[in-house]
Amino acid sequence: MPSRFPFEPLTLGAGQATENLGGRVRIGVIEGRAVFVAGDSFADVGEVSGGAVRADARVMFEQWNEIVDVHRRCVRGDFRELGGSVLENPLQAPRQVFAVGANYRRHIEEAGAHLPERPLVFTKFPSCLTGPTSPVELSSENVDWEVELVAVVGARADHVPPGRGWEYVSALTGGQDITDRVMQFDGGYPQFSLSKSLRTFGPVGPVLVTPDEFENPDDLALGCALNGRTQQAARTSDLVFSVPVLVEYLSSLCTLYPGDVIFTGTPSGVGAFMNPPRFLRPGDELISWVEGIGQLENRAVPVSVQAATTVPAVGGVWAGIGS
Ligand code: ZN
């Protein structure tokens, strides 16, 4: 079993209590609050800033630069053990969640298809986003996995000039673009957005990492394993349309806002194209990773049926209509 947090912890020597930690900026969310994560410990952004920065995860992309600045002031004493705390969905209030299909070169060429001339874009509804260790609810017997690098927009963006897309990305994280394949292709016409937006169909995390933390943010390993067996393994250098190009393209058509999300596409190895096809079954454990970011662990479970909407008792206004 791979460790839950494979990224390297900060190494803290004795006597560093008042020194700058100089560690990597990794931001997660615990109980709705933005936190710095280091190994198996975390520090509350609001507390470290002395209240100068709001820790509310729903607004953290509006003050991202301030949060990254606060990280420089972290000292060892600010951190406490994760213990039973759970890292939650770090993307809590995006206005828009874009996703891209057919975007890994090797995967398309293997399928004998031609490379797309422009990005194939669809949306995932924000309500499907869920945490890095949250369960994935199986809406049918045809629910599939798609590991993806996920980019988060850092500033309002309109018509970003070629070559400047990275300047508008505040963070990278990992994600799964879970898909109900029957819903996607049944009914005569394919539909992407709904079939990829059912409850729990968007695990993301475990943390947000600023692009400048990577030696080369355009060449990251990513993959996923089902019950310990690797299903997908690729590098983002194989993307047809890279992260900055996607930002430039989308911003030429739509206004992008801080906190908006872009799922950048998945490489080969999804269940629908296996022979025979293999889809998620209750109890399956799906582990997904992106180099330098960490891993998601999502267990497949049956759909949880919520209590039905309360039906008004017969009487009152209804009795009047019926009479
Ligand atoms: Zn996808």
Average the pLDDT over 167-195 and give the result.
93
Instruction: Answer yes or no: do 77 and 122 share one domain.
Output: no
Residue 205 pLDDT: 97
The CATH number of the domain where 221 resides is what?
3.90.850.10
Instruction: Answer whether residue 101 is part of any domain.
Output: yes
Give the CA angle between residues 287, 93, 152 to the nearest 5°: 60
Span from the CA of 108 to the centroid of ligand 1 (angstroms): 13
The amino acid occupying position 88 is E
As a whole number of angstroms, the distance between CA 139 and CA 265 comes to: 22
Span from the CA of 265 to the centroid of ligand 1 (angstroms): 5
60: alpha, beta or left? (left if phi > 0; alpha if psi -120 to 50): alpha
Instruction: Answer yes or no: do 61 and 110 share one domain.
Output: no
Span from the CA of 177 to the centroid of ligand 1 (angstroms): 5
Span from the CA of 56 to the centroid of ligand 1 (angstroms): 29
The string of pLDDT tens digits covering residues 39-80 is 889 999 999 999 999 999 999 999 999 999 999 888 889 999
Instruction: Answer yes or no: do 68 and 107 share one domain.
Output: no
Instruction: Answer whether residue 312 is part of any domain.
Output: no
Instruction: Answer yes or no: do 161 and 206 share one domain.
Output: yes
Backbone angles phi, psi at 187, to 5 degrees: 90, 10
Per-residue confidence at 306, pLDDT binned at 50, 70, 90?
A: low
Instruction: Answer whether residue 311 is part of any domain.
Output: no
Span from the CA of 232 to the centroid of ligand 1 (angstroms): 13
Span from the CA of 179 to the centroid of ligand 1 (angstroms): 8
Instruction: Answer yes or no: do 145 and 232 share one domain.
Output: yes
Span from the CA of 99 to the centroid of ligand 1 (angstroms): 6
- H, E, C per residue of 79-119: CEECCCCCCCCCCCCCCCEEEEECCEHHHHHHCCCCCCCCC
Instruction: Answer whether residue 154 is part of any domain.
Output: yes
How many structural domains does the chain have? 2
Span from the CA of 178 to the centroid of ligand 1 (angstroms): 8
Span from the CA of 213 to the centroid of ligand 1 (angstroms): 25
Instruction: Answer yes or no: do 159 and 36 share one domain.
Output: no
Per-residue confidence at 313, pLDDT binned at 50, 70, 90?
A: low
The string of pLDDT tens digits covering residues 113-157 is 999 999 999 999 999 999 999 999 999 999 999 999 999 999 999
Q: Exposure of 228 by Cβ count < 10 A (0-12 exposed, 13-18 middle, 19+ buried)?
A: exposed
Residue 75 pLDDT: 86
Span from the CA of 19 to the centroid of ligand 1 (angstroms): 43
Q: Are 174 and 222 in contact (CB under 8 A)?
A: yes
Instruction: Answer yes or no: do 191 and 275 share one domain.
Output: yes
Question: Roughly how many angstroms between the first and final C-alpha of the chain, as a whole number?
Answer: 65
The string of pLDDT tens digits covering residues 291-300 is 999 999 999 9
Span from the CA of 140 to the centroid of ligand 1 (angstroms): 18
Residue 238 pLDDT: 98
Radius of gyration of the chain (CA): 21
Instruction: Answer whether residue 222 is part of any domain.
Output: yes
Span from the CA of 31 to the centroid of ligand 1 (angstroms): 28
224 versus 106: the higher-pLDDT residue is 224
Instruction: Answer yes or no: do 178 and 263 share one domain.
Output: yes
Residue 309 pLDDT: 58
Span from the CA of 205 to the centroid of ligand 1 (angstroms): 16
Span from the CA of 284 to the centroid of ligand 1 (angstroms): 20
As a whole number of angstroms, the distance between CA 148 and CA 151 comes to: 10
The amino acid occupying position 95 is R
Residue 16 pLDDT: 34
Span from the CA of 148 to the centroid of ligand 1 (angstroms): 7
The string of pLDDT tens digits covering residues 238-281 is 999 999 999 999 999 999 999 999 999 999 999 999 999 999 99
DSSP category for residue 43 = E
pTM listed for this prediction: 0.89
Long-range contacts of 318-321 (CB under 8 A, 24+ apart): none
Strand duo 169-176 + 202-209: pairing: antiparallel
Span from the CA of 26 to the centroid of ligand 1 (angstroms): 24
Average the pLDDT over 8-25 and give the result.
42
Question: Could you list the residue range(s) of the whole structural domain that residue 180 is in?
Answer: 97-302
Instruction: Answer whether residue 265 is part of any domain.
Output: yes
Instruction: Answer yes or no: do 227 and 131 share one domain.
Output: yes
As a whole number of angstroms, the distance between CA 10 and CA 71 comes to: 13
Residue 19 has pLDDT above 50, yes or no: no
Instruction: Answer yes or no: do 62 and 185 share one domain.
Output: no
- 206 CB contacts (<8 Å, ≥6 apart)? 5, 28, 37, 87, 90, 132, 133, 173, 174, 293, 294, 295, 296
Single out the residue in 81, 114, 147 at which a domain terminates.
81
Instruction: Answer yes or no: do 62 and 162 share one domain.
Output: no
Span from the CA of 84 to the centroid of ligand 1 (angstroms): 31
178 versus 1: the higher-pLDDT residue is 178
Q: Are 144 and 266 in contact (CB under 8 A)?
A: no
Span from the CA of 87 to the centroid of ligand 1 (angstroms): 23
Span from the CA of 1 to the centroid of ligand 1 (angstroms): 26
Instruction: Answer whether residue 21 is part of any domain.
Output: no
Instruction: Answer yes or no: do 141 and 243 share one domain.
Output: yes
Span from the CA of 55 to the centroid of ligand 1 (angstroms): 30
